[in-house]
Structure 1
Amino acid sequence: MSTTVEVMADAFKEAGTPFLVGHPGGESVELMEAARQRDMRFILMKQETAGAMLAATWGEITGAPGVCLSTRGPGAANMVNGVAHAALDRAPLIVLTDRYSHPAHEVGLRQRIDQVALYAPLVKWGTTVDARTIRQQLRRGMRTATAPAPGPVQFDIPQSETTKEATELLAEPSLLPNLLSPEPDDKALKPLTDRIRAARKPVLLAGLGVFWDQASEELVAVAEALGAPVLVTSKCKGAIPEDHPLRAGCIIGGLIERQLVMESDLIITVGLDAVELQPKAWPYTIPVVALSSTPSLDALVPSEIEVLGNLKLLLAKVAVLCGSGGNWGEKAAATFRTNVVNALNTPATGLSPQRAMEVARAVLPRDTVATCDAGASRLLVVQKWQSYGPREFLTSNGLGSMGYAVPGALGARLAHPNRPVVAFTGDGGFLMAVAELQTAVRENLPIIVIVLDDQQIGLIRVKQEIKGIPLHGVHVGGCDWEKIAQGFGAEGTTVDTENGLQDAIKIALKSGKTTVIGVRIDGSGYVDQFNALREL
């Protein structure tokens, strides 16, 4: 008979996640040992939030739920922001929290909080582990975490249950379901295909659901069949290669994409999740049809037809049934790209953030995986960095949390051990996760961290300036990036020119070591860029 923690470790490994990550407590040691005996890695993080973000990023990229853990009380409370990221950025995640044994939990006060209640608003399901039901709990948890829309599931683990024998199931279902999706029927799709065929200028708006059904190739096929330009959310960058002539750019919830969308006569949303959009009223009266694997419950996008099904199969069928469309897409996409470039090309004294991004994209290899922090620079990174494949650009968008880029990059490095990984972050966001540089070095997970240093919390400075409020409480500055990096055993340098940045990236690629490149930038153009691209 296997113990509870042995059954749990077996399940995590079977689901495709060969490691645990986090900051453990005393109640975790039996699970850690069970994992070690199964050749599963344990990655010790310096912050529980960073551990959850790393594990969530692994889940996003691989589809296998990442597994993060914390001690009871302060550890569980500190991990909340990382779990919130998994919830709002739709990442499959198994959240493990230590807990006192049943008797102590009922009478103890110190370090005791109701952890199931704490996480309840953030997780798709939460449960307290019991050795008699753990096998079924794991099956429900894994299926819940990975089912569209993916998200976190919490297991509260009492010390008293960890080494008990886990009850066997008489008839044990598979850990993850073996689903069969029948091919869509031509006749059933007729209302949709008739509507699409009647359009002369359709535009595609693609979101995360494209990745959930691994339907990137089919999205491109539909765009080519219709001759339609494609806008994607920031979480969906790379669903259409960003050097494809029909790729327009990213939806950022602002003014500039409206020029393109308003030229269309039909909006086709594909896998669009409302959490990816700005929380404001839908700005278009143009007819909308929606293709998705899950029904829209938020009523934000006013679609006249909503077709549900596996997007890989559904898009493939639409491409066949609605081929030989118009040819307006390439010109419309090119015009949009030019408009974005012109809006971002604001004057600067010294190195501008937009030019820094252009240099980074020119030097880093095509297959580089990029992560991006929240903040003023994110607007530029989303628009300027080009990704050429699914899940090659990773960011916190639904939650929009600072401190994501570095742990996200570590998750990407675990998923892609042989590809370059770069983290784009502002100075403020980097300082929130700076301790994980030690994790990168200690765990041999080399990443390149490009810190866009304007010595301010740039996004708040932008909002103060736009609202006519004097700058106050937003200054950072005074950081020696080289010494900070070296203190953690990483490489570090500071640059303020294009050539300096270019050389620093080349050296980092050649060294294969975790490297921090502090890039002194002039962020004075942020206000004009924000005014041109989006509403605040």
Structure 2
Amino acid sequence: MTPEPTAQRTPSPTRRLTVAQALVAFLARQYTERDGHRRRLIAACWGIFGHGNVAGLGQALLESGAAGPPGPYGSDPPGPAPALPFLQGRNEQAMVHAATGFARQSGRLSTHAVTTSIGPGATNLVTGAALATINHLPVLLLPGDTFATRPADPVLQQLEVPYAGDVSVNDCLRPVSRYFDRIVRPEALVPAALQAVRVLTDPAATGAVTLALPQDVQAEVHDWPEDFFADRVWPVRRPAPDPAALADAARAVRAARRPLLIAGGGVRHSGAQAALRAFADATGIPVAATQAGKGALRHDHPAEVGGVGHTGTAVANDLARATDLVVGVGTRYTDFTTASATLFADPAVRFLNLNIASFDAHKLAATALVADARAGLEALTAALAGHRVDAAYEAAYRTAKERWERRVDAAYAAPDPAARPTQAQVLGALDAVVGDDDVIVNAAGSLPGDLHKLWRARSPYQYHVEYGYSCMGYEIPAALGVRLAAPDRPVWALVGDGTYLMMPTELVTAVQEGVNITVVLLQNHGYASIGGLSEQVGAERFGTAYRFRAADGTYTGDPLPVDLAANAASLGMAVLRAATVGELRAALAAARTADRPTCVYVETAPPGPELPGAQAWWDVPVAAVADRPAAVAAREAYERRAATRRRHL
């Protein structure tokens, strides 16, 4: 018999590139798509170059065309091979914060990559990675790594571990990354890159993703399959709730007499604000918010009762203490939200959690509704058709909200325009200037507490307070990322002097790139938030003030003669100094219309009695044994509050 002819297979086309060049080309072709809207996944790459990435990713970005002026971030320039725009950073941690701010403003559908050298450049990423992962926000980290081929041991900045030859400082990034891989061979890049993008685009699993890139491997050449560089669209689905779980959820809501909905960051990430408003309109159930969820309803919506938890409003926390059903939507139930497990006091209270992450949906022994926030709210609203809370309950919380608004008015009021403003009065002056499109960025110090209690959010994206990690130094770089994602929105970074001294570096980047952010710099001569907490827990404000040492050796002398406004000016910012309430109002109005990055500098007065204190407890353990009377008294108070903790089972 004549044998059958052997089929001739046409070799797949390949492209000869270095590992770094291939990675840049791959990233430039990744897209997300949700609700029919397509966006570029990696809109730009931040970088600081050293010997661990300059000849690899640095050369690759240059060759790809990233050195030219970028177009609108997240859009493709014309041509068959889109470039990956490059942004020059000043601090590695700050670059991650900027990428994270961009990702949050973009609804997690677009983010930035960050490349660093090996050693300290790479380990500086850890804090930013932790922040991104804790807040479920995607960011791609591309740190250089030591040689995979080990031509000499040790090389510069190599960590020698006697028991393991394959460990480098980049392994510090493993616990703060949702996906980690080290690319020790060119062939490993293809599966690792695909897995990295899978995690970045998974709303239930996203966070920091790290691809550690040994400096020698970055420069190695390989023949890559052409399909690796094809446009790839990653659908971001909206999983609907299970019908049986939805029926259980509807029964729980119908049976509740005093339900309370707590809106978390998942509402924002899902773009579920309209669905939440429709739910509240239909049912009359009051809506409180976590730090990440504040703004999900406009402040003037009849069902919106403000922040909940330790920094929440009196009306929201009173409702939480009496509720018999907590409907948590997109929340992780942090200790600030639950007042360290003391807030939900009704013995019969139960929980219904709508969350895209099963881990969070099942917290507090809840009835779990594992679904996208928007899809879940829409389904639950339909399942509750015709149901509404009792009219007396609705009237009671609306009356309580009116009382709280009068307290906010009192805190904001500044009757003497010649007086030095308190921090609350600064917020009141800012409230009078901003519009619905403005974005307020904050993360740490005493400002998050005041903002959560007092700020009147006017749009879904106005309130940008990072409180999952509450990271000092986040505000300025994050504001930069927000403005890159939303170039038409005025963006304000609210920072105290402690936060400013942590990380002002990206002011230089804002000036260089012409990214018009406004920094409101509040000088209160130290760590105001921790100073107040220190006093409450018997530590008597030890080590929290920025002052000279006194004769007894303590930091209780005169304030330090630092001039942070002059520092901001030296970094290229336009600076407006405001010594009084009247000057502050004028400076804020001028800054909002400025055509360059601007800093408004104001020294604040101590808070007055009109500022509401904490509306719920927060567990900060106090010394069990002490000689100083302040600590003894604080311990007695602590034990009384700790006794009210409970586990919800």
Give the distance between the partners of 2:279 and 2:361, measured in 1 at CA.
Answer: 26
* CA-CA distance at 1:6 after TM superposition: 3.0
Alignment of 1:79-94 (within 5 A): 79-94=125-140
Unaligned 5+ segments in structure 1 are: none
Q: Does 1:5 align with 2:20?
A: yes
Question: Once the 2 structures are TM-superposed, how far is the Cα of residue 447 of structure 1 from its aligned partner?
Answer: 0.6
Residue aligning to 2:149:
103
Q: Residues 77-476 of structure 1 correspond to what in structure 2 (within 5 A)? A: 77-104=123-150, 107-113=153-159, 114-129=168-183, 130-147=185-202, 148-163=204-219, 164-165=221-222, 167-168=224-225, 175=232, 177-178=234-235, 181=238, 183-184=240-241, 189-253=246-310, 256=314, 257-275=316-334, 277=336, 280-281=340-341, 283-284=343-344, 285=347, 286-296=349-359, 300-303=363-366, 305-324=367-386, 325-326=388-389, 327=391, 328-329=393-394, 331-333=396-398, 335-336=400-401, 338-339=403-404, 342=407, 345=410, 350-476=420-546
Residue by residue over 1:9-32, the C-alpha shift from the partner in whole angstroms, topping out at 9 and shown as x without a partner, is 233333323311132223231233
Of structures 1 and 2, the larger Rg is shown by 2
Cα contact 1:138–1:175 (8 A) shared by 2: no
Task: Tell me, yes or no, if the aligned pair for 2:43 and 2:112 is still in contact at 8 Å.
Answer: no
Distance 1:531 1:206, change over 3 A: closer
Q: Report how far residue 65 of structure 1 moved.
A: 3.0
Code of the residue aligned with 2:295 in structure 1: it is G
1:478 positional shift: 3.0
Aligned to 1:296, what secondary structure does the other structure show? helix
Q: How many residues are aligned here?
A: 535
For residue 175 of structure 1, report the CA deviation from its aligned partner. 4.4
| Residues 327-351 of structure 1 deviation map (CA, whole Å, 9 limit, x = unaligned) | 4346515524633763895699731
Q: Post-superposition shift, 1:243?
A: 2.4
Letter in 1 for 2:329: V
The whole-number CA distance in structure 2 between the counterparts of 1:425 and 1:411 is: 16
- 1:143, 1:176 within 8 Å by CA — same for their partners in 2? no
Match of 1:42 among 77, 82, 86: 86
| Structure-1 separation of matches of 2:152 and 2:404 | 62
Matching residue of 2:641: none
CA distance in 1: counterparts of 2:399 and 2:472, whole angstroms: 32
Whether 1:504 aligns to 2:533 is: no
Shift of 1:390: 3.1
Cα distance in 2 between the residues matched to 1:276 and 1:66: 30
* 1:207–1:276 contact (8 Å) kept in structure 2: no
SS in 1 for 2:489: coil
- Give the deviation of 1:532 after TM superposition: 4.4
Structure 1 stretch 413-422 or stretch 216-225: which is displaced more? 216-225
3-state DSSP of counterpart to 2:507: helix
CA distance in 2, matches of 1:385, 1:332: 19
Q: How much does 1:223 deviate?
A: 1.4
Does residue 54 (structure 1) correspond to residue 98 (structure 2)? The answer is yes
Query: Compared with structure 1, are the counterparts of its residues 283 and 531 closer, same or farther at alpha carbon in structure 2 (3 Å cutoff)?
Result: closer
Residue matched to 1:24: 49
Distance 2:241 2:541 in 1: 57
Distance 1:468 1:188 in 2: 48
- Asked whether the 8 Å contact 1:70–1:76 carries over to 2, the reply is yes
Question: 1:231 Cα shift?
Answer: 0.8
Q: Is the 8 A contact 1:481 1:493 kept in 2?
A: no
Contact map agreement 1:481 1:517 (CA 8 A) in 2: no
Write out per-residue CA displacement over residues 253-304 of structure 1, whole angstroms, 9 at most, x where no aligned residue: 368443122333321111112357458336424121111111136965231x
Distance 1:42 1:74 in 2: 21
Conserved in 2, the CA contact under 8 Å of 1:139 and 1:174? no
Q: Higher mean Cα deviation, 238-247 or 389-398?
A: 389-398
Paired letter, 1:266: L
Q: What is the distance in 1 between the residues matched to 2:141 and 2:254?
A: 46
Q: Which amino acid aligns with 1:117?
A: D
- SS of the residue corresponding to residue 47 of structure 2 reads strand
TM-score, scaled relative to structure 1: 0.91
Measured after TM superposition, the shift of residue 369 of structure 1 is 1.0
The answer on whether the counterparts of 1:281 and 1:300 sit within 8 Å (CA) in structure 2 is no
Q: Distance in 1 between matches of 2:215 and 2:311?
A: 50
Q: Which shifted more, 501-510 or 258-267?
A: 258-267
Cα distance, 1:166–1:33 mapped onto 2, change above 3 Å: farther
CA distance in 1, matches of 2:463, 2:145: 36
Cα separation, partners in 2 of 1:180 and 1:80, compared to 1, 3 Å? closer
Instruction: Please tell me whether the aligned partners of residues 436 and 458 of structure 2 are also in contact (alpha carbons under 8 angstroms).
Output: yes
Measure the CA separation in 1 of the matches of 2:517 and 2:255.
49
After superposing the two structures, state which structure 1 stretch, 143-152 or 453-462, moved more.
Answer: 143-152
Q: Does the CA contact (< 8 Å) of 2:309 and 2:343 recur in 1?
A: no
